[in-house]
Amino acid sequence: MIKEIDIDSIVRERAGKKAKFIPKWLTGLLARVIHQDFINTYLRQGRVGVDFCKGVVDYVGVDVDVEGKENLPDDGRSYTFVSNHPLGAIDGVTLGWVIGEHYNGKIKYLVNDLLMNLEGLAPLCVPVNKIGKMARSFPAVVESTFASDCHVIMFPAGLCSRKQNDGSIRDIPWNKAFITKSVQHERDIVPIHFEGRNSERFYNVARWCKRLHLPNFAMALLPDEMYRSKGNHYTVRIGQPIPWQTFDKSKTPGEWGKWVQDKVYEI
Protein backbone atom coordinates (compact mmCIF):
# COMPACT_ATOMS: atom_id res chain seq x y z
CA MET A 1 0.00 0.00 0.00
CA ILE A 2 1.27 3.46 -0.88
CA LYS A 3 1.81 5.58 2.21
CA GLU A 4 0.13 8.97 2.09
CA ILE A 5 1.06 12.13 3.94
CA ASP A 6 -0.74 12.78 7.22
CA ILE A 7 0.51 16.10 8.54
CA ASP A 8 -1.30 15.75 11.84
CA SER A 9 0.46 12.45 12.57
CA ILE A 10 3.87 13.72 11.43
CA VAL A 11 3.67 16.86 13.56
CA ARG A 12 2.52 14.98 16.65
CA GLU A 13 5.19 12.32 16.27
CA ARG A 14 7.95 14.92 16.06
CA ALA A 15 6.49 16.97 18.90
CA GLY A 16 6.65 14.03 21.31
CA LYS A 17 5.26 14.90 24.75
CA LYS A 18 4.34 18.40 23.57
CA ALA A 19 1.90 16.98 21.01
CA LYS A 20 -1.05 17.27 23.40
CA PHE A 21 -0.71 21.05 23.30
CA ILE A 22 -1.07 21.24 19.50
CA PRO A 23 -4.68 21.97 18.47
CA LYS A 24 -6.23 19.96 15.66
CA TRP A 25 -7.20 23.12 13.79
CA LEU A 26 -3.52 24.11 13.55
CA THR A 27 -2.42 20.87 11.92
CA GLY A 28 -5.49 21.09 9.66
CA LEU A 29 -4.39 24.55 8.56
CA LEU A 30 -0.88 23.28 7.91
CA ALA A 31 -2.30 20.41 5.82
CA ARG A 32 -4.06 22.96 3.62
CA VAL A 33 -0.98 25.16 3.37
CA ILE A 34 1.16 22.28 2.09
CA HIS A 35 -1.63 21.01 -0.19
CA GLN A 36 -1.80 17.60 1.46
CA ASP A 37 -4.60 16.35 -0.81
CA PHE A 38 -2.71 17.45 -3.95
CA ILE A 39 0.40 15.60 -2.76
CA ASN A 40 -1.50 12.46 -1.78
CA THR A 41 -3.25 12.29 -5.15
CA TYR A 42 0.19 12.03 -6.72
CA LEU A 43 1.49 9.53 -4.16
CA ARG A 44 -1.35 7.17 -5.05
CA GLN A 45 0.28 6.70 -8.46
CA GLY A 46 2.86 4.57 -6.67
CA ARG A 47 5.95 5.84 -8.46
CA VAL A 48 9.32 5.08 -6.86
CA GLY A 49 12.88 6.36 -7.17
CA VAL A 50 13.89 8.22 -10.33
CA ASP A 51 10.45 7.59 -11.80
CA PHE A 52 8.98 9.36 -8.76
CA CYS A 53 11.16 12.40 -9.48
CA LYS A 54 10.24 12.55 -13.16
CA GLY A 55 6.58 12.07 -12.27
CA VAL A 56 6.58 15.07 -9.92
CA VAL A 57 7.91 17.34 -12.68
CA ASP A 58 5.15 16.13 -15.00
CA TYR A 59 2.44 16.22 -12.33
CA VAL A 60 3.21 19.77 -11.24
CA GLY A 61 3.40 20.84 -14.88
CA VAL A 62 6.67 22.74 -15.14
CA ASP A 63 8.92 23.02 -18.18
CA VAL A 64 12.61 22.22 -17.68
CA ASP A 65 15.51 22.73 -20.11
CA VAL A 66 18.76 20.88 -19.36
CA GLU A 67 22.00 22.23 -20.81
CA GLY A 68 25.39 20.52 -20.58
CA LYS A 69 24.33 16.87 -20.41
CA GLU A 70 27.58 16.10 -22.23
CA ASN A 71 29.36 17.05 -18.98
CA LEU A 72 27.88 14.08 -17.13
CA PRO A 73 30.85 11.67 -16.80
CA ASP A 74 30.57 8.08 -18.01
CA ASP A 75 33.87 6.62 -16.82
CA GLY A 76 32.40 4.37 -14.13
CA ARG A 77 33.66 6.46 -11.22
CA SER A 78 31.46 7.96 -8.49
CA TYR A 79 30.94 11.74 -8.48
CA THR A 80 29.59 14.47 -6.24
CA PHE A 81 26.99 16.72 -7.86
CA VAL A 82 26.49 20.08 -6.15
CA SER A 83 23.89 22.68 -7.02
CA ASN A 84 22.43 25.93 -5.83
CA HIS A 85 18.99 25.53 -4.29
CA PRO A 86 16.65 28.29 -5.54
CA LEU A 87 13.29 26.53 -5.21
CA GLY A 88 13.47 24.00 -2.40
CA ALA A 89 11.39 21.30 -4.10
CA ILE A 90 11.19 21.20 -7.90
CA ASP A 91 14.94 21.73 -8.20
CA GLY A 92 15.57 18.69 -6.01
CA VAL A 93 13.33 16.26 -7.87
CA THR A 94 14.48 17.61 -11.24
CA LEU A 95 18.11 16.80 -10.47
CA GLY A 96 17.05 13.41 -9.16
CA TRP A 97 15.36 12.74 -12.49
CA VAL A 98 18.12 14.13 -14.76
CA ILE A 99 21.10 12.62 -12.93
CA GLY A 100 19.31 9.49 -11.76
CA GLU A 101 18.08 8.63 -15.23
CA HIS A 102 21.58 9.04 -16.65
CA TYR A 103 23.11 6.74 -14.03
CA ASN A 104 20.33 4.14 -13.86
CA GLY A 105 19.18 5.20 -10.41
CA LYS A 106 22.58 4.96 -8.69
CA ILE A 107 22.20 8.23 -6.83
CA LYS A 108 21.75 9.34 -3.24
CA TYR A 109 20.55 12.66 -1.87
CA LEU A 110 21.56 14.05 1.50
CA VAL A 111 18.19 15.49 2.55
CA ASN A 112 16.12 16.75 5.44
CA ASP A 113 14.78 13.69 7.22
CA LEU A 114 11.20 14.95 6.77
CA LEU A 115 11.40 13.82 3.14
CA MET A 116 11.62 10.22 4.30
CA ASN A 117 7.84 10.48 4.74
CA LEU A 118 7.61 10.31 0.93
CA GLU A 119 7.97 6.58 0.36
CA GLY A 120 8.48 6.99 -3.38
CA LEU A 121 11.45 9.29 -2.81
CA ALA A 122 12.89 7.60 0.27
CA PRO A 123 14.97 4.94 -1.60
CA LEU A 124 17.08 7.75 -3.07
CA CYS A 125 17.50 9.62 0.20
CA VAL A 126 19.94 9.66 3.07
CA PRO A 127 18.15 11.42 5.95
CA VAL A 128 19.95 14.23 7.72
CA ASN A 129 18.80 15.81 10.96
CA LYS A 130 21.42 17.70 12.97
CA ILE A 131 19.01 18.12 15.88
CA GLY A 132 18.11 15.47 18.44
CA LYS A 133 19.02 11.80 18.38
CA MET A 134 20.00 11.74 14.70
CA ALA A 135 22.68 14.37 15.31
CA ARG A 136 24.98 11.75 16.85
CA SER A 137 24.84 9.60 13.71
CA PHE A 138 25.23 12.48 11.25
CA PRO A 139 29.01 12.08 10.63
CA ALA A 140 28.64 8.32 10.09
CA VAL A 141 25.72 8.85 7.68
CA VAL A 142 27.73 11.28 5.57
CA GLU A 143 30.80 9.01 5.63
CA SER A 144 28.91 5.92 4.48
CA THR A 145 27.19 7.84 1.70
CA PHE A 146 30.44 9.13 0.22
CA ALA A 147 32.07 5.72 0.66
CA SER A 148 29.35 4.07 -1.43
CA ASP A 149 29.43 3.54 -5.20
CA CYS A 150 26.43 5.83 -5.69
CA HIS A 151 26.67 9.34 -7.10
CA VAL A 152 25.90 11.93 -4.42
CA ILE A 153 23.60 14.89 -5.03
CA MET A 154 23.97 17.78 -2.60
CA PHE A 155 22.62 21.24 -2.00
CA PRO A 156 25.50 22.43 0.22
CA ALA A 157 23.63 25.52 1.41
CA GLY A 158 21.25 23.28 3.36
CA LEU A 159 18.47 25.83 2.78
CA CYS A 160 16.89 27.13 -0.39
CA SER A 161 18.19 30.44 -1.73
CA ARG A 162 17.40 33.80 -0.16
CA LYS A 163 16.88 37.23 -1.69
CA GLN A 164 19.95 39.43 -1.27
CA ASN A 165 20.09 43.17 -0.64
CA ASP A 166 20.79 43.81 -4.32
CA GLY A 167 17.67 41.85 -5.32
CA SER A 168 19.53 38.79 -6.56
CA ILE A 169 18.58 35.26 -5.49
CA ARG A 170 21.53 33.40 -4.03
CA ASP A 171 22.36 30.60 -1.61
CA ILE A 172 23.72 31.27 1.84
CA PRO A 173 27.41 30.20 2.17
CA TRP A 174 27.88 26.52 1.40
CA ASN A 175 28.87 23.92 3.96
CA LYS A 176 32.44 22.69 3.37
CA ALA A 177 31.58 18.99 3.89
CA PHE A 178 31.18 18.35 0.17
CA ILE A 179 34.80 19.42 -0.33
CA THR A 180 36.34 17.42 2.50
CA LYS A 181 34.39 14.24 1.75
CA SER A 182 34.90 14.46 -2.01
CA VAL A 183 38.66 14.79 -1.52
CA GLN A 184 38.74 12.00 1.06
CA HIS A 185 36.93 9.62 -1.31
CA GLU A 186 38.56 10.96 -4.50
CA ARG A 187 35.31 12.08 -6.07
CA ASP A 188 35.43 14.77 -8.73
CA ILE A 189 32.79 17.46 -8.26
CA VAL A 190 30.25 18.36 -10.94
CA PRO A 191 28.85 21.91 -10.48
CA ILE A 192 25.25 22.58 -11.46
CA HIS A 193 23.31 25.83 -11.70
CA PHE A 194 19.53 25.73 -11.42
CA GLU A 195 17.88 28.90 -12.69
CA GLY A 196 14.65 29.78 -10.92
CA ARG A 197 13.10 31.73 -8.06
CA ASN A 198 10.28 31.55 -5.55
CA SER A 199 7.60 34.16 -4.88
CA GLU A 200 8.18 37.49 -3.15
CA ARG A 201 5.96 36.20 -0.32
CA PHE A 202 8.46 33.42 0.36
CA TYR A 203 11.43 35.78 0.49
CA ASN A 204 9.56 38.24 2.71
CA VAL A 205 8.67 35.51 5.22
CA ALA A 206 12.25 34.20 5.19
CA ARG A 207 13.61 37.71 5.75
CA TRP A 208 11.32 38.43 8.71
CA CYS A 209 12.06 35.06 10.29
CA LYS A 210 15.74 35.93 10.19
CA ARG A 211 15.24 39.46 11.51
CA LEU A 212 13.04 38.33 14.39
CA HIS A 213 15.16 35.23 15.13
CA LEU A 214 12.19 32.97 14.51
CA PRO A 215 12.25 29.34 13.29
CA ASN A 216 12.44 28.84 9.53
CA PHE A 217 8.68 29.11 8.91
CA ALA A 218 9.41 29.83 5.24
CA MET A 219 10.13 26.11 4.80
CA ALA A 220 6.42 25.38 5.36
CA LEU A 221 5.65 27.46 2.27
CA LEU A 222 7.79 25.35 -0.08
CA PRO A 223 5.02 22.86 -1.03
CA ASP A 224 2.79 25.82 -1.88
CA GLU A 225 5.60 27.34 -3.95
CA MET A 226 5.79 24.06 -5.87
CA TYR A 227 2.00 23.94 -6.23
CA ARG A 228 1.97 27.46 -7.70
CA SER A 229 4.84 26.78 -10.11
CA LYS A 230 2.63 25.12 -12.76
CA GLY A 231 3.55 26.49 -16.18
CA ASN A 232 6.89 27.90 -15.01
CA HIS A 233 10.05 27.43 -17.04
CA TYR A 234 13.36 26.46 -15.43
CA THR A 235 16.84 25.92 -16.81
CA VAL A 236 19.45 23.49 -15.47
CA ARG A 237 23.06 24.04 -16.54
CA ILE A 238 25.59 21.29 -15.87
CA GLY A 239 29.22 22.41 -15.70
CA GLN A 240 32.40 20.49 -16.38
CA PRO A 241 33.67 18.18 -13.61
CA ILE A 242 36.27 19.64 -11.27
CA PRO A 243 39.02 17.10 -10.39
CA TRP A 244 39.24 16.38 -6.68
CA GLN A 245 42.99 17.09 -6.83
CA THR A 246 42.08 20.76 -7.44
CA PHE A 247 41.21 21.18 -3.78
CA ASP A 248 44.73 21.33 -2.37
CA LYS A 249 46.19 23.06 0.68
CA SER A 250 46.36 26.46 -1.03
CA LYS A 251 42.88 27.15 0.33
CA THR A 252 40.94 25.91 3.33
CA PRO A 253 37.98 23.58 2.65
CA GLY A 254 35.67 26.48 3.44
CA GLU A 255 37.45 28.70 0.91
CA TRP A 256 37.30 25.97 -1.72
CA GLY A 257 33.59 25.59 -0.98
CA LYS A 258 33.05 29.28 -1.69
CA TRP A 259 35.16 28.95 -4.84
CA VAL A 260 32.92 26.14 -6.15
CA GLN A 261 29.80 28.09 -5.16
CA ASP A 262 31.04 31.07 -7.17
CA LYS A 263 31.77 28.77 -10.12
CA VAL A 264 28.18 27.53 -10.00
CA TYR A 265 26.86 31.06 -10.39
CA GLU A 266 29.20 31.60 -13.36
CA ILE A 267 27.79 28.66 -15.32
**Tens-digit pLDDT profile for residues 123-135:** 898 877 644 454 4
Average pLDDT of 13-20?
80
- Band of the pLDDT at 24, cuts 50, 70, 90? confident
Q: What angle do CA 263, 265, 267 make, to 5 degrees?
A: 75
Distance CA 200, CA 242 (A): 34
Domain boundaries, the chain: 1-44, 60-266
Region 60-266: CATH code: 3.40.1130.10
3-state secondary structure of 226: helix
C-alpha torsion sign, points 190, 171, 232, 61: positive
186, with CB counted inside 10 A (0-12, 13-18, 19+), is: exposed
pLDDT > 70? residue 2: no
Phi, psi for residue 7 in degrees, rounded to 5: -60, -40
Structure confidence by residue, pLDDT tens digits, 50-108: 999 999 999 999 999 999 999 999 999 999 999 999 998 899 999 999 999 999 999 99
